[in-house]
Amino acid sequence: MSHQPSAMSLVRFTLNGAVVDITAHPLKRLLDVLREECGLTGTKEGCGEGECGACTVLVNGEPVCACLVPFAHARDAEVLTIEGLHGDHPLQRAFVLEGGAQCGICTPGMILAALVLGENPPIEKLRAGLAGNLCRCTGYEAIYRSVATAWNDGDVAAKRRGAGAGA
Amino acid sequence: MRTAITPLQLLEPKTLVTALKMLRNDGPLTPLAGCTDLYVGLNFGTLPAKRYLDLSRLGPLRRIRMEAETLVIGATATYTDIIGSRHVRRRIPMLVSAAREVGGPQIQNRGTLGGNIANGSPAGDTLPVLAAAEAVVALESVDGLRKVPFTGFYTGYRTSVMRPDELIVAIEIPVIDGAQWFRKVGTRAAQAISKVVMAAVRASRPRVALGSVAATVVRLPRTEAALAGGAGMAEAQRVLMDEIHPIDDVRSTAEYRKQVSANLLARFWAETG
């Protein structure tokens, strides 16, 4: 059979809890489909080679680099991007309060990679779980602190009040 | 992304039989599964292939199972699958160690054992493990199944005995007697390509395999014979440093690789004695 470029594929998948039908080339990177076809620009491109984890999204509950996933592999899958956390997730609040975000490019990927570690992960699990996410602002301690305190509602609420009073 | 996607073609078979027919009749096709190596090339614009074969819909290819005393790992089993498999943990813990050091969680969730073999990088983390395990690669085409000893799989830098119409369908791990040992030396624990990677088995006939020191993964028959013959460690290390011929490259120097390989041999022997 001679070479025939693939036609655009209609792919049905679940995006942040809603079933969507998206049309794109089956080999287009999931990263680009999310940003362009779906208009969700919270997923960032860092290195484009699976080294930095900035484009991390969850596919069927597992963190993956969206720059290394062909769109065809989204078929029937559940995809969660940072937009699916609606801005008020405990991890997101903690990253704000603890200074876990500096330039912010790694942040969506960090939060999604941290999300699968469950509440209050021990530090070794946290380090291993975020080993695939690089922060070029070298903010790892603040990032670890953000995840470590995210689930401690009392602390976060107290700090929020403190931050408000100081502002 | 430095590759124009629009001219590319993806075939998406739902069964192995269909996939093998496509490889035979519609080739040449580049198989893809986890895409953790392939998409790096695609992103960099360095991948010449225009036509691809998706293996992700072939569910049975991902299974890990026991067949009598042989552990059979499906080609598209991911590193995460391998880490989580009780069969793998029990039979070949050095493969679990290797899988844990491939990339980070994102890569382990997608990358596959068959892909590590097919990609054929001399630095592939699992390859010394398969060499030390004396694994067997199961290749299938429309003509049927054939089995190739892993130590005879590669013919040179990123070349192998696999034909273009064949697919790696499984990796078979025989019973391994003796203590297993694995160590990867890289710039950092995660997300680093190895400078030297060693897998070894301590048995009456010791087995030592190294990655990143030659054009392919290598076993060290002379070093193994020295150890089996009761040579002291200093002597065995001299044999090893004479036996391997690593190169200088962006990740390390030949001299460093030789010295580290010798150090790893001593550590393997001390930790399994």
User: What pLDDT, in 10s, does the model give residues A104-119?
Assistant: 999 999 999 999 999 9
Q: What is this structure's pTM? A: 0.95
Strands of B167-173's sheet in order across: B64-67, B70-74, B167-173, B136-141, B144-149
Interface test with B, best of A2, A27, A31, A125 (most B CBs within 10 A): A27
The Cα A139–Cα A157 span in angstroms is 23
Identify the pLDDT of residue B16: 98
User: What is residue B208's three-state secondary structure?
Assistant: strand
Instruction: Tell me what ipTM this predicted complex has.
Output: 0.95
Interface test with A, best of B106, B187, B191 (most A CBs within 10 A): B106
Q: Which of B9, B80, B107 sits opposite A50 (nearest CB)?
A: B107
Name the minimum distance, in Å, from the CA of B88 to any CA of chain A. Answer: 21
Beta bridge partners of B27: none
Q: What is the mean pLDDT of each run of 10 residues along chain B (273 residues)?
A: 92 98 97 97 93 97 98 98 98 98 96 97 96 98 98 97 98 98 89 91 97 95 98 98 93 94 98 95
**Residue A60 vs residues A75, A78, A84, B197: alpha-carbon distances, Å:** 11, 5, 14, 32
Q: How many CB pairs under 8 A join A and B?
A: 100
**CA quadruple B91, B97, B101, B106: dihedral sign:** positive
Identify the pLDDT of residue B189: 75
Q: Which of B50, B105, B109 sits opposite A131 (nearest CB)?
A: B105
Contacts of A32 in chain B (CB under 8 A): 1
Identify the pLDDT of residue A156: 53
Q: Determine contact, residues A144/A128, Cβ cutoff 8 Å.
A: no
Identify the pLDDT of residue A139: 79
Q: Count the helix, strand and coil residues of chain B and give each as a percent rounded to the nearest 5.
A: 35, 25, 40
Burial of A52 (0-12, 13-18, 19+ CB in 10 A): buried
Neighbours of A114 (CB within 10 A): 26
Strands of B179-185's sheet in order across: B179-185, B196-202, B207-211, B218-219
Segments of chain A with pLDDT less than 50: 164-167
Identify the pLDDT of residue A166: 39
User: What pLDDT, in 10s, does the model give residues B127-179?
Assistant: 999 999 999 999 999 999 999 999 999 999 999 999 999 999 999 999 999 99
